[in-house]
Amino acid sequence: MAALTPYQSWGRYPRALPAGVRSLRFRDQPLPRVAGSVLPFGNGRSYGDSCLNNGGTLLATRGLDRFLAFDPATGLIRCEAGVLLSEILSLTVGGGWFLPVTPGTRYVTVGGAIANDVHGKNHHLAGTFGHQVIRLELLRSSGERLRCGPTERADLFAATIGGLGLTGLITWAEFRLKRIANPYVQVERTRFDHLDGFFELALGADREHEYTVAWIDCLASGRHLGRGIYLAGNHAAPTCEDAPRPPGRAPSIPFDPPLSLIATPTLRAFNEIFYRKQPRRPTNGVEHFAPFFYPLDGIGQWNRIYGPKGFLQYQSVVPMSAGRDATRAMLACIAGSGQGSFLSVLKVFGDRPAAGLLSFPRPGVTLALDFPYKGRATLRLFETLDTLVAQAGGAIYPAKDAHMSPRLFAAGYPRVDEFRRHLDPAFSSSFWRRVTGAVA
């Protein structure tokens, strides 16, 4: 096994060895002059190889973690690209400001959130993280520092949103936070017994709730196929009093177990209990925002439970017209393979036009699952899923990908040629070389 650098992706598959890592600490620093390509690395919360640069240099951005300005009256915030979303929340939640869009973990950098144009449970109303960005600065390998935004160098801006770190280094960004009355969320949970139940709920709840998502038991099959729990939430009203306390310090998986702790029987039991725990009738309650938005952040380094071989995520989106059938077919395939994941997530995206040329979210239904890496068996399952996604005219999320073929990438991202014009010649990634068939 190759020596471990701390610079792995979250799924720890595939392994990649950068030729070097250069840490950036001040935003006025020039890009280091190195042989070969460079790639910004945020906090490594991407699963596959989009944050890896095998044989090239990584530009570690966590040292760029300063705020430039924050206006507590308007919620306008400007910060360096290495600031974590969790650091923004610590600073602003007390004063009544929340992230306008947040992914399922708060341990991602602002630069990483922009470069993958991440989405949250409010995509149907708010769009993606990129939609919130007002301005950013891009440092190109030519030494130029270019400000861009929706109305300033709009084409370079659209390439950089969801641009996978390939258009240059984002040094800082500006966006607006959203007002909240308190740190709580009013959450409604509804159990549904099969996939159709999900679609019924999604069509109704998405209109009334700011945040919606469903957990699916991906091992259930037959008439239980696609059963799960639908979560719909809104920020709590100012009068909310029976508020729970914030969770304490997160426990952490302290070491690497020698093998995966995920085995099918455990999974089956876990998913069954999770599903049964939810009473048949909808429940309604107030929760602290942390467990609602970031259920997995409660266990530090949980990626270790998959053992040394790592794991892969599979996140797809398919248009609504084909959504029901394609999702059913995919779930049947996964249940049949018995490889399933801990929890899979199903959500309907809104139809706001994408902010970036390579943005993943688009109108349709998105399914996300983790799979322990079991070699050929896993890859074979992925190939079947790929076929279903391709037939439905869908796409795979680069931030979660370690396997998709150049063909599927080209089909899912039709604006890639337009994107190419904005590539920085010194920047590249393992992902990019893989999905474009380019050499390092």
Partner 1 sequence: MSTRVLIVGATSAIAEALARRYAAQGATLFLAARHTERAAAIADDLRVRGAAMVEVGAYDATVPDRAEALVAAAWEALGGLDVALIAHGSLPDQAACAASAALTRRELEVNLISVIDLLTPLASRMQAAGCGTLAVIGSVAGDRGRQSNYVYGTAKGALAIFLQGLAHRLAPAGVRVLTIKPGFVDTPMTAAFPKGPLWASPDRVARDIQRAIARGTHICYTPWFWRWIMLVIRLIPAAIFHRTQL
Ligand X SMILES: Cc1cc2nc3c(=O)[nH]c(=O)nc-3n(C[C@H](O)[C@H](O)[C@H](O)COP(=O)(O)OP(=O)(O)OC[C@H]3O[C@@H](n4cnc5c(N)ncnc54)[C@H](O)[C@@H]3O)c2cc1C
Q: Which residues form the interface with partner 1 (CB under 8 A)?
A: 3-7, 20-21, 23-28, 60, 62-63, 66-70, 91
Tokens 């993606």 sit at which residue?
128
CB 216 within 8 A of CB 227: yes
Which value, to the nearest 10 degrees, does the dihedral of the CA atoms of residues 373, 375, 377, 378 take? Answer: 40
**Minimum distance, C-beta of residue 253 to ligand X, in the bound complex (Å):** 13
Compare residues 43 and 341 and give the one whose CB is closer to ligand X.
43
What stretch of H or E contains 186?
Answer: strand 184-192
**Minimum distance, C-beta of residue 72 to ligand X, in the bound complex (Å):** 25
**DSSP for 190-257?**
EEESSHHHHHHHHHHHHHH-SEEEEEE-TT--GGGTT-EEEEEEEEPPTT--SPPPPP-SPPB--S--
DSSP classification of residue 353: P
Contact residues: ligand X, CB under 6 A: 10, 39-46, 50-51, 61, 81, 103-105, 108-109, 111-113, 115-116, 118-120, 164-165, 169-170, 296, 399
3-state DSSP helix/strand/coil % of the chain, to nearest 5: 30, 25, 45
**Minimum distance, C-beta of residue 156 to ligand X, in the bound complex (Å):** 13
**Minimum distance, C-beta of residue 102 to partner 1, in the bound complex (Å):** 20
Compare residues 169 and 381 and give the one whose CB is closer to ligand X.
169
Q: Cα–Cα distance between 348 and 130 in angstroms, integer?
A: 18
**Minimum distance, C-beta of residue 77 to ligand X, in the bound complex (Å):** 16
User: Which of 158, 149, 135, 150 lies closest to 69, judged by CA?
Assistant: 135
Compare residues 70 and 274 and give the one whose CB is closer to partner 1.
70
CB 378 within 8 A of CB 385: no
Residue 116 contact, options partner 1, ligand X, none, Cβ 5-8 Å cut-off depending on partner type: ligand X
Token pair in block for residue 147:
């400000």
Q: Cα–Cα distance between 169 and 97 in angstroms, integer?
A: 27
Compare residues 171 and 378 and give the one whose CB is closer to ligand X.
171
Residue 25 contact, options ligand X, partner 1, none, Cβ 5-8 Å cut-off depending on partner type: partner 1
Phi then psi dihedrals of residue 425, to 5 deg: -60, -25
Residue 108 contact, options ligand X, partner 1, none, Cβ 5-8 Å cut-off depending on partner type: ligand X
The total number of residues written for the chain in this structure: 440
Residue 21 contact, options ligand X, partner 1, none, Cβ 5-8 Å cut-off depending on partner type: partner 1
**Minimum distance, C-beta of residue 36 to ligand X, in the bound complex (Å):** 15
Compare residues 38 and 388 and give the one whose CB is closer to ligand X.
38
CB 116 within 8 A of CB 100: no
Token pair in block for residue 407:
């063909």
CB 18 within 8 A of CB 57: yes
Residue 24 contact, options partner 1, ligand X, none, Cβ 5-8 Å cut-off depending on partner type: partner 1
- Cα–Cα distances (Å) from 370 to 5, 10, 360, 400, in that order, read 23, 11, 18, 9
Q: How far apart are the first and last CA of the chain?
A: 22
Token pair in block for residue 203:
């069509």
Compare residues 35 and 439 and give the one whose CB is closer to partner 1.
35
**Minimum distance, C-beta of residue 364 to partner 1, in the bound complex (Å):** 39
**Minimum distance, C-beta of residue 10 to ligand X, in the bound complex (Å):** 4
Compare residues 57 and 105 and give the one whose CB is closer to ligand X.
105
**Minimum distance, C-beta of residue 118 to ligand X, in the bound complex (Å):** 3
Residue 45 contact, options partner 1, ligand X, none, Cβ 5-8 Å cut-off depending on partner type: ligand X
Compare residues 108 and 390 and give the one whose CB is closer to ligand X.
108
Residue 112 contact, options ligand X, partner 1, none, Cβ 5-8 Å cut-off depending on partner type: ligand X
Contacts of residue 101, defined as CB under 8 A and 6 or more positions apart, other chains included, come to 118, 119, 120, 122, 123, 126, 127, 128, 129, 131, 132
Compare residues 4 and 181 and give the one whose CB is closer to partner 1.
4
Compare residues 78 and 403 and give the one whose CB is closer to partner 1.
78
Residue 326 contact, options partner 1, ligand X, none, Cβ 5-8 Å cut-off depending on partner type: none
Residue 40 contact, options ligand X, partner 1, none, Cβ 5-8 Å cut-off depending on partner type: ligand X
**Minimum distance, C-beta of residue 144 to partner 1, in the bound complex (Å):** 18
Residue 27 contact, options partner 1, ligand X, none, Cβ 5-8 Å cut-off depending on partner type: partner 1
